[in-house]
Amino acid sequence: MARKVIDVVSKQEAGPAAVLPLKKKKTAAQKQANEQYRLEKPIAVRIEKQVFPESEPDIEPDPAVHKKKKRANPRAVKHKIKQGRGKPFFARLTALVLAVLICCGFVYLYFFYNRAVLLVYPKSEEISAKQEIKISVSQDKADWQNGILPGRILQTEVEQNMDFQTEGRGMESGKSGGVIYIYNSVSPVKAVPLAASTRFLSAKNSKIFRLKQKIVLPAATMKNNKVVPSVIEATVEAQEEGGDYNIDPTKFSVPGLVGSVLYYNIWAESKNKMSGGFSDEVSKISSGDLLNAQSRLKGDLAKKALADLGSRLPSGFILSDKAFSIDSFEFSCDQSEGAKSENFTCSGRMKARVLIFKEADIKETARNLLSRTLPSFKELSATSLAYEFLPKGAITDQGNLFLDFSAKSRSFDSINSQAILSGILGKGKETALSIIKQSNPQIENVSFKFWPIFFAHSLPKDSERISVKIVDF
């Protein structure tokens, strides 16, 4: 199958030969026109078109359609091409103008508007001072020289109940006891009195029991010339507490009769087991439990009182727990010391007051106290100011409170900003830093900040556009 290559162009770019039928031969004028067009704009697109066998003739284009189309004018096409080529030029020109304007803006800001901030970090040292000051409700205004500040008293009364767990331990015990039967076989027969607390020694475990009351043993009887022992019932109690005395039935002797005839003729027996003896560890309220309860309740009431006073604190005043005073504290519990109980409840009531004073007054007192110790060529740091005070006793009935007052801060040599600026106007950043450090030994470090051209390397020549800031501590 044969293949034929033809040239195809767009309607706007088509030359005179493009409107002729494909099967007709080109005239010399048409060939010349096409050759001229190619030289001016050789942008035709070459495509391949499959040519069918000669048995299948090509479809002829409709001549009527080609007649309706206007032939393209090569000069008009060339004019349009030049217009298209001119568009990028205007875009490049616009970008160039914007770039020039931006550069001019930076130059203007740099030379006429840029500002600088000089941050100065001076060398410093710590200073401190102490003074006794007085807070008084009768003082109208602060007396800095004599250390007297005006104050106000706030009062409150609070109460509270608290439950406590018993921590104390103790032994609780009981004595064993029971009934014994005492025999009397003394011969010649006679009654024998036994005093209360007479001891009876058990044959088992050798436990001592004592009579609870005085008794008289009846005399024995004679029967067929034989002594028949008399017997009497008596109540006894163990000599000591504890479960060890709960002994089984046994016989008893009377140790107090040792060495006499009565020892072998008077004895006793128990028919039932002794009972009631015990010894256990139990919870008992101790003096430590009561003291701990008192301390905890007092502390909680003090916090409650401070919270109540703080809720009524006027604006601008200081409430310090160091100026807090307890006027009275009442304490009671529902159980006494030694009581057997797992827990107990206590109640308390407190009357308290606090002396308050203005925060501005106490700060000014600290500044005034430190300033009096400074030489004239030094300045006091404002941000490092600190103070503390400790009451010297309670608030008096007249409403006075004396405080041990101490203040501390950092100080530095005075810095002449105008003298520094006069030597660095218009200088480069590094040069200016070197000049400042060499001429001002009291300065530890310096740095610059620029705005709006933050990357500037030179200082403005106008001192109005440079500000000096002393960096506090």
The residue ranges of every structural domain in the chain are 3-72, 112-124+414-470, 172-281
Which tokens in the block code for residue 73?
A: 């004018």
What's the pLDDT at 303?
95
Separation between Cα atoms, residue 294 and residue 388, nearest integer Å: 30
What's the pLDDT at 159?
96
Give pTM, 2 decimals: 0.51
Q: Residue 429, by phi and psi: left (phi above 0), alpha (psi -120 to 50) or beta?
A: alpha
What's the pLDDT at 11?
41
What's the pLDDT at 54?
46
pLDDT digits (tens, 9 = 90+) for 276-331: 999 888 899 999 999 999 999 999 999 999 999 999 999 999 888 888 989 999 99
What's the pLDDT at 169?
87
Q: How many beta carbons lie within 10 A of that of residue 448, not counting itself?
A: 16
What's the pLDDT at 336?
93
Q: Which residues of the chain have pLDDT under 70?
A: 1-26, 34-87, 101, 103-113, 452-455, 473
What's the pLDDT at 455?
64
